[in-house]
């Protein structure tokens, strides 16, 4: 009878150990996945913020160039090119802003 009881305790201990190992490994895997996802989102947000800042800086520069060229000669071809460039830079800045809103929400 003693050997049967000992065998049952060993079997129960092995099953309990295996179950606990499975539970802990699953929990660690979930935490690791959550951390990986949050890190990836952080990297994407940082890239989007950087892209937005660069786009806005370029847009501001193009607006400044456009204004100065318009003050010199509003009918010059340089002014027309600067105006077209400012429109393009605005579109790029708007696209970068949309990406930030998609990643971060509108709030």
Tell me, yes or no, whether 6 lies in a domain.
yes
Q: Please give the tally of structural domains in the chain.
A: 1
Mean pLDDT within 87-103: 97
Chain segment 15-71, per-residue pLDDT in tens: 999 999 999 999 999 999 999 999 999 999 999 999 999 999 999 999 999 999 999
Please return the burial class of 66, using the count of CB atoms within 10 Å of its CB with bins 0-12, 13-18 and 19+.
Answer: buried
Q: How confident is the model at residue 107 (pLDDT cuts 50, 70, 90)?
A: low
Q: By residue range, what is the domain housing residue 11?
A: 2-29+42-104
Record the pTM.
0.72
86 within domain boundaries: yes
Write the DSSP assignment of 67-97 as a string of letters: HHHHHH-TTSHHHHHHHHHHHHHHHHHHHHH
């Amino acid at each position: 009878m003693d050997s049967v009881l000992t065998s049952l305790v060993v079997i129960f201990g092995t099953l309990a150990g295996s179950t606990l190992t499975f539970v802990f490994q699953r929990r660690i895997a979930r935490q690791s996945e959550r951390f990986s996802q949050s890190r990836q989102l952080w990297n994407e947000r940082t890239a989007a913020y950087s892209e937005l800042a660069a786009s806005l800086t370029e847009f501001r520069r193009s607006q400044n160039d456009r204004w100065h060229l318009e003050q010199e000669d509003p009918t010059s071809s340089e002014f027309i090119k600067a105006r077209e460039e400012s429109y393009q830079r605005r579109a790029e800045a708007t696209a970068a802003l949309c990406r930030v809103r998609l990643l971060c929400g509108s709030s």
